[in-house]
């Protein structure tokens, strides 16, 4: 768990009480000097979700020099209560599509791209592309 958006739990881990609007994209400032942009639309159509992810990738690319701006881009989509509308189902389509998009763009920074289901069934390409793109941020 990276970020805990709720209180009243005994679960450990994650940054506590990091609240944001449900099903939205927004920017906020933390610690008075770090901007955080979050794309967390998950109750939308497939096309809108993919567009939202790509838009945040492009925004991150266009703002890649600003190290005081963190981008968090969630790939989860859940538009219904059946197996065909679950994060499990959509991950098999979204993850490779976004990985291929990133490969074409060849960015030097994409921020945090949080995804569901990263093993072979859902294509490891997305997390590999995220690591490759963000590798330029590592100071050796």
Closest to 136 measured CA to CA, from 91, 106, 115? 106
Domain that holds residue 82: 25-137
Burial of 6: CB neighbours in 10 Å, binned 0-12, 13-18, 19+: exposed
Q: Is the pLDDT of residue 40 over 90?
A: yes
How high is the pLDDT of residue 51?
A: 98
Euclidean distance between CA atoms 74 and 77, whole angstroms: 9
Closest to 60 measured CA to CA, from 51, 71, 50? 71
Q: How confident is the model at residue 9 (pLDDT cuts 50, 70, 90)?
A: low
Euclidean distance between CA atoms 100 and 93, whole angstroms: 11
How high is the pLDDT of residue 15?
A: 63
Residue 15 lies in a domain: no
pTM for the whole structure: 0.85
Residue 20 lies in a domain: no
Asked whether 112 and 126 are in contact (CB, 8 A), the reply is no
Q: What is the CATH number of the domain that holds 33?
A: 3.20.20.190
Across 29-33, 51-55, 129-133, least confident range = 29-33
Euclidean distance between CA atoms 140 and 135, whole angstroms: 11
When the pLDDT of each residue in the chain is averaged and rounded to a whole number, the result is: 85
Residue range 77-101, pLDDT digits in tens:
987 666 677 888 888 899 999 999 9
| Structural domains in the chain (count) | 1
Euclidean distance between CA atoms 4 and 13, whole angstroms: 8
Residue 80 lies in a domain: yes
């Amino acid at each position: 768990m990276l970020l805990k958006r709720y209180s009243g739990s005994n679960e450990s881990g994650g940054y506590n009480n990091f609240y944001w609007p449900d099903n939205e994209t927004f920017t906020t400032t933390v610690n008075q000097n770090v901007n955080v942009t979050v794309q967390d639309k998950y109750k939308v159509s497939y096309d809108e979700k993919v567009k939202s992810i790509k838009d945040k990738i492009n925004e991150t690319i266009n703002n890649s020099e600003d190290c005081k701006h963190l981008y968090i881009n969630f790939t989860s989509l859940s538009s219904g209560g059946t197996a065909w509308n679950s994060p499990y189902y959509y991950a098999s389509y979204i993850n490779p599509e976004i990985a291929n998009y990133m490969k074409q763009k060849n960015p030097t920074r994409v921020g945090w791209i949080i995804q569901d289901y990263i093993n072979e069934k859902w294509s490891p390409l997305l997390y590999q592309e995220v690591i490759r793109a963000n590798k330029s941020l590592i100071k050796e």
